[in-house]
A = this chain, B = another copy of it.
Amino acid sequence: MRSNGPVGLWLIGAGGTLATTAVVGARAIVRGLADRTGLVSDAPEFAALGLPALDRLRFGGHDIRAVNLAAAARTIARENGSIREEWVGQLEPDLAAVDSEIRPGQAQGSGGAIEAIADSTHVVAANSARACVDEFSGQLRSFVQRHALEGLAVVNVASTEPPPTDPELLADLDRLDRALDAEPATAFRPGLLYAYAAMQAGAAFVNFTASPSCLCGAIEQLAKRKRVPYMGNDGKTGETLVKSGLAPMFRARRLEVMSWVGYNILGNRDGMVLADGDNKRSKIATKDSVLSNILGQPVRTRVGIDFVESLGDSKVAWDYIHFRGFLGHPMAMQFTWQGCDSILAAPLVLDLARFALLALERGESGAMTHLASFFKNPLQSNDHDLYRQLAKLHAYAATAT
């Protein structure tokens, strides 16, 4: 018999627009204020799986700035319109309860663009990397105990970090452990510390960002040792989602894509951070690997990203696909995707938490490759075709039921 007790969702970057939208959205649904559009985990194919209901979720998290979710939600309502002002009033006690579960995070090491937005009075005090990890880990355990949680999923929704400064260090757990003991916290990308802490606390871990340090080789070894499930990288929410859904059509018809170039503009904090060259590199790497994989042929690709402040949380992508058909004749398709970043991402965060908590409950560990369809750059998955990825998820659902 399935249990029905509370389960936890701990968000790295808990005060950001995405986390705010996920928390407000989950509570608005539970309170009957909003409908459930956009929740993949609600599909009939997963009905028999016993995924945890949204009302079982308890929220907490880390952030590098003081968090007031109601205030953040009101700002989103006013500037973006994606949360309704009237909901915030009705959810005020729920949101205040989450606020009390937010702990200071680690900003140093995440690149200048992120460091610039950190609030120095709201970052973790620990100097040594090991102490920092242990502090994070302790906070997770304490969260579990305080709410008698039956499971905990940690989802990283912070801004994208630059690639690691010393990739080799992250390839091996023993070496990493020695470095954590010897070095200050600032010698590491914070994403690495959060991931380590999550696994140390027995939580499932999901890297919804492109930050490459989170699920490096050493962390995967740690997950194996701790027998916890994990998955990443980089939620597939917009332009890349469309690519992975559209490229299979070209392949199926044996139309030869010669060039597929895309240009993304966005105006939220994520976009501002990506305007920084270092952080952008991490992002473009994950966005650009999709097409050649699906099409199985050389294709000229380009992914441009620019910060256009007036767009706020809106995200506009233009893609141009230049292809050859029968007798080599050139043709073209172009699309413009006009999405709202946090609205596209928030339900996936809830979906991933539900699937991760189920995996944890079922004692599954290692990379949750059945969740590949949720990621731009899915770990241990060699197929970017959205429909083949979904077929794997449905197969998991069929056997797991």
Contact = CB atoms under 8 A, between A and B. Distances in A.
A25 B328 CA distance: 10
B330 A339 contact: no
A373 B340 contact: no
Nearest to A38: B326
A261 B267 CA distance: 13
Nearest to A267: B259
B300 A325 contact: no
Interface stretch (A62-70, A157-165, A178-186, A248-256): A248-256
B326 A25 contact: yes
A226 interface: no
A302 B310 contact: no
Nearest to A265: B261
A329 B82 contact: yes
Q: What's the number of copies of this chain in the assembled complex? A: 4
A347 interface: yes
Interface in A306-348: 306, 308-311, 316, 318, 320, 322, 324-340, 343-344, 346-347
A225 to B, nearest CB: 35
Interface stretch (A9-17, A112-120, A193-201, A239-247): A239-247
A311 B254 contact: no
A390 interface: yes
Interface in A93-144: none
A84 B326 CA distance: 12
Contact of A386 (B38, B242, B249): B249
Interface residues on A, range: 35 or more
Interface stretch (A39-47, A282-290, A355-363, A376-384): A39-47
A272 interface: no
A167 interface: no
Interface string A194-237: 00000000000000000000000000000000000000000000
B248 A387 contact: yes
A258 interface: yes
B21 A254 contact: no
A184 B309 CA distance: 48
A304 interface: yes
A324 B344 CA distance: 10
Given A328-B35, A328-B37, A300 B309 contact: yes
A326 B346 contact: yes
A89 interface: no
Candidate in A300, A346, A373 with the most chain B CB atoms within 10 angstroms: A300
A50 interface: no
A325 B245 CA distance: 17
A338 to B, nearest CB: 5
Contacts of A343: 325-327, 329, 331
A153 interface: no
Nearest to A302: B306
Interface of A: 21, 25, 28, 34-35, 37-40, 42-43, 81-85, 241-242, 245-246, 248-249, 252-256, 258-259, 261, 263, 265, 300, 302, 304, 306, 308-311, 316, 318, 320, 322, 324-340, 343-344, 346-347, 373, 386-387, 390
Closest 5 interchain pairs by CB? Answer: A245-B249, A258-B310, A38-B326, A335-B335, A263-B263
5 contacts: A245-B245, A261-B265, A302-B308, A318-B318, A331-B344
